[in-house]
Structure 1
């Protein structure tokens, strides 16, 4: 017997949320109705899909395999519906976007008014955090992420190159000297990301191959703006994306270092689940970011001339 479609949807929502109550809320049904639908599905299939205890709810091995296949089917159905609906032509609805805190405040927020003005039927919710959010689990439509991304099931669209730079204040360099090669950083105070006393910074060697350099320092932070402030105060050498440092380098408040050795392998990216790639609101937002930042980011303008000078 082929299971009814409503029982499949009920099972997927219960498995995704880990709760009959939350699944019922999302589907606009009673908890008892959701429970009966999942039980009916298990009876139709002749297999138990969920482990149920008084404190927890989780898919069985068969339930996990069935959930994965059902999620793909539902995502394909959503895409098919979008393809033939009016939503495909007119971006509208609620759009939830996660972005890094410093980049979001310093650069991303400036391009949001233009997006909202162009698409008046979109309601935009931004979440600024440096935490790596789970898009599917937490219900985000897409995320803006910086750096080299690990392989995943998400779609990645590269928006712009992100140039990393090593820099220090003129006062620090006058006091401690200017490093000419990455290995010389071992004799310098380095301002590192995170809470580790010792960190590894990546550079490119004379032979073009990547090299790891161990650096140490007395100050560590998990925020690029704070590390930049410490560099401006003359407390050490910093390695950060150029969107943190560009204005200070152009103004002479910071001096770029080791430019020939810093690899150009990072990027600004939009990432989103496969089920979102036909969504007009997601596509409109990603296109807007690509136009605003790439392929040559405005924060890099004039840096080469500043360094040469």
Structure 2
């Protein structure tokens, strides 16, 4: 296979911007990891006109895909978890080319999972969890039980990923297999929701009660990154906070996360006068110290 694909990747490997080339072969009859193609080539570059593009090929009844991605795009996928199979590809793909041991360093980073990266990823998952939970609760209160179920399932997935990250691991596609061993309590909640014989609204009612407690216990861990950012200044306006280089990764959920922390008495509000009578800007500040290390 490698020899057949050599003409496809060899010229790119010789380019000075190419950092690494990996080959990922189809493992099973059904293989979403390779989009059901027989093999995928991943080429990581320092820079390119496009952050990511794909080409498809055929040879000797085999199907192949060439994925070319910039280092910046790959790092964003790893951080945000928006293309989770990339971690699997980097850790388990066959190395065909590695300039200056770039992959050695990347794999070491993935395996050690530096604390600051973990803290940011946890806040991303926690912010998504809070939004899904709030939306699910609103649907439940409106007796839209199927919509509530959908949102609470997503909330549980974010909680599961948070638990895995907090233990120093990257969430895999089979995240519930990880959670089963790492945090059985969360795994049990998931099983009860999807497998119980109780009527749906009863299952949801019990789960919301348990979820309220779990979210409370995870608040300081989940909001640690934002809490540290808030501590950098005496007061933040929302527009300034959302432009912070790290906060931008969960900016879409920042507003609901702030309101959650205000309700928990962790964040406070200063009202700043505007030119409009009786209208104030909202300034946010860290109300009380929490242990986030």
TM-score interval for Structure 1 and Structure 2 normalised by the shorter chain: under 0.3
TM-score (norm 2): 0.24
Higher Cα radius of gyration: 1
TM-score (norm 1): 0.23
Q: Which has the higher relative contact order, 1 or 2, with Cα contacts under 8 A spaced 6 or more apart?
A: 1
Name whichever structure is richer in strand by fraction: 1
